[in-house]
């Protein structure tokens, strides 16, 4: 008897949401002691999108991205089985942002939860969602990466405020038996890096008090140099590991889809993989680092150029530390 084809989870649609307001390097020059030249040469960023409406937050952006994703696929919200939201900026510590998205979408049959893995959140959520589909447990899983970083960034700290932006992206996972879909993934965490990138206040260790707020502990803190050193190695090694163990040569890869933390980290990863700039998705210039949203925002921006069978390597590194890479064979022809 011939082997029955392997069931994989394929991305069958992508949706994105970016808030309309832009925060440019020129705007930041008026807020902190920085300049456009420093920001562009050190990070590759020119502007970021900011969600200004105080009555909207991560669940709003996640819902908008998910709605676009489902509309494009012609899938009704009540056909979704599960919603996974990768975020470090949930609307509230609980309930999960996934619950708010489920309600706003009207995804009446779906369950779901949030995944907290900082900039690797979407990558980890993608693997989790894929396993729910591959196992036969579910037919349709929405995987969303969404972060409103502007709400936890300290706009008096020039070392972090220039980096981050807001945005959301969503993908729909459905079963495939044609060889497309998520084919392999490597994931890592190293909690010894927890002190290098964190939001110290507002959790159960330092609940919000006047003192924690006065000490600005509710804002993101980063030791940029320490994170940079680990990110360069982590992303490049994970991407190389995915290539080596699947016998993928540079010519086999259509695109590297890297987390958009810093252009220099992206370039180092591409070099390690032997890829030229034409094979690397880069949109950091316009959005900055949107944490869990960077990978699906790239997929959304490049969807029109993707063809069924294209090999993509997704790679990310983030707070935790968390990092990894995924081999994905694209499932459909995009339209420009
Ligand atoms: N404008 C001007 N000067 C600045 C700014 C700024 N915005 N920020 C820092 N500087 C200064 C510093 O004070 C320092 O001055 P000094 O030498 O007099 O002390 C100098 O520039 C160099 O600072 P570094 O921190 O060494 O600069 P670096 O080249 O490392 O760039 C950056 C900083 C962009 C933060 C970089 O370290 C980086 O990208 N780190 C990794 C970020 C990352 O990948 N995060 C993970 C994902 S995020 C997540 O998971 C939520």
For 126-143, how does the pLDDT look when each residue is reduced to its tens digit (9 = 90+)? Answer: 999 999 999 999 999 999
- The bridge status of strand 166-176 relative to strand 140-148 is antiparallel
User: Atom 37 (ligand 1): residue with closest C-alpha?
Assistant: 224
CB 224 near ligand 1, within 6 Å: yes
What is the spatial distance between Cα 52 and Cα 161, in angstroms, rounded to a whole number?
15
129, 121 contact by CB (below 8 A): no
Backbone angles phi, psi at 255, to 5 degrees: -145, 140
pLDDT tens, the chain, 336 aa long: 566 778 999 999 999 999 999 999 999 999 999 999 999 999 999 999 999 999 999 999 999 999 999 999 999 999 999 999 999 999 999 999 999 999 999 999 999 999 999 999 999 999 999 999 999 999 999 999 999 999 999 999 999 999 999 999 999 999 999 999 999 999 999 999 999 999 999 999 999 999 999 999 999 999 999 999 999 999 999 999 999 999 999 999 999 999 999 999 999 999 999 999 999 999 999 999 999 999 999 999 999 999 999 999 999 999 999 999 999 999 999 986
CB 245 near ligand 1, within 6 Å: no
What is the spatial distance between Cα 28 and Cα 154, in angstroms, rounded to a whole number?
12
The predicted structure's pLDDT at residue 93: 96
221, 257 contact by CB (below 8 A): no
Please give the distance, rounded to the nearest whole angstrom, from the Cα atom of residue 222 to the centre of ligand 1. 9
The predicted structure's pLDDT at residue 1: 59
The distance from CA 68 to its chain's CA centroid, rounded to whole angstroms, is 17
Q: How many helices (H) and strands (E) does the chain have?
A: 11, 13
119 a catalytic residue: yes
What is the spatial distance between Cα 278 and Cα 104, in angstroms, rounded to a whole number?
39
CB 221 near ligand 1, within 6 Å: no
What residues contact 71, with CB distance under 8 A and at least 6 apart?
A: 15
Q: Is the peptide bond before 321 cis (omega within 30 degrees of 0)?
A: yes
What is the spatial distance between Cα 64 and Cα 72, in angstroms, rounded to a whole number?
12
Ligand 1 closest atom vs CA 162: 7
CA 15-20-26 angle, 5° bins? 125
Nearest to 281 by CA among 265, 305, 264, 298: 298
Specify the residue for token string 């006065």. 214
Residue 278 burial (C-beta neighbours within 10 Å; 0-12, 13-18, 19+): exposed
Measured between its terminal Cα atoms, the distance across the chain in Å is: 42
The predicted structure's pLDDT at residue 335: 83
Of 224, 232, 284, 295, best ligand 1 pocket probe by most atoms within 8 Å of the beta carbon: 224
- The bridge status of strand 311-318 relative to strand 255-258 is parallel
- pTM of the complete model: 0.96
What is the spatial distance between Cα 32 and Cα 206, in angstroms, rounded to a whole number?
27
Nearest to 315 by CA among 203, 220, 184: 184
């Amino acid at each position: 008897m011939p082997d029955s084809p392997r069931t994989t989870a394929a991305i069958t649609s992508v949706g994105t949401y970016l808030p309309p307001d832009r925060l440019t390097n020129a705007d930041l020059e008026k807020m902190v002691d920085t300049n456009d030249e420093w920001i562009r040469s050190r990070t590759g960023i020119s502007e970021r999108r900011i969600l200004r409406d105080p009555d909207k937050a991560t669940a709003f952006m996640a819902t908008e991205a998910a709605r676009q994703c489902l509309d494009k696929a012609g899938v009704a919200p009540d056909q979704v089985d599960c919603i996974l939201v990768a975020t470090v900026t949930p609307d509230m510590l609980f309930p999960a942002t996934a619950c708010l998205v489920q309600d706003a979408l009207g995804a009446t049959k779906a369950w779901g939860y949030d995944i907290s893995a900082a900039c690797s959140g979407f990558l980890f959520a993608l693997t989790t969602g894929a396993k729910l589909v591959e196992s036969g447990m579910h037919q349709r899983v929405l995987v969303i990466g969404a972060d409103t970083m502007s709400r936890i960034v300290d706009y008096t700290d020039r070392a972090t405020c220039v980096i981050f932006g807001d945005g959301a992206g969503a993908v729909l996972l459905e079963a495939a038996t044609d060889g497309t879909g998520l084919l392999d993934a490597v994931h890592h965490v190293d909690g010894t890096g927890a002190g290098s990138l964190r939001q110290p206040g507002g959790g159960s260790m330092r609940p919000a008090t006047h003192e924690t707020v006065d000490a600005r502990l509710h804002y993101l803190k980063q030791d940029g140099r320490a994170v940079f050193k680990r990110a360069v190695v982590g992303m490049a090694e994970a991407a190389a590991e995915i290539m080596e163990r699947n016998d993928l040569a540079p010519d086999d890869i259509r695109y590297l889809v890297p987390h958009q933390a810093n252009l220099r980290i992206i370039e180092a990863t591409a070099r390690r993989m032997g890829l030229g700039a034409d094979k690397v998705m880069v949109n950091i210039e316009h959005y900055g680092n949107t944490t869990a949203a960077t990978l699906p925002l790239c997929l959304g921006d490049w969807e029109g150029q993707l063809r069924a069978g294209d090999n993509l390597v997704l790679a990310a590194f983030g707070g935790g530390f968390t990092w990894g890479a995924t081999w994905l064979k694209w499932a459909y022809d995009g339209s420009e």
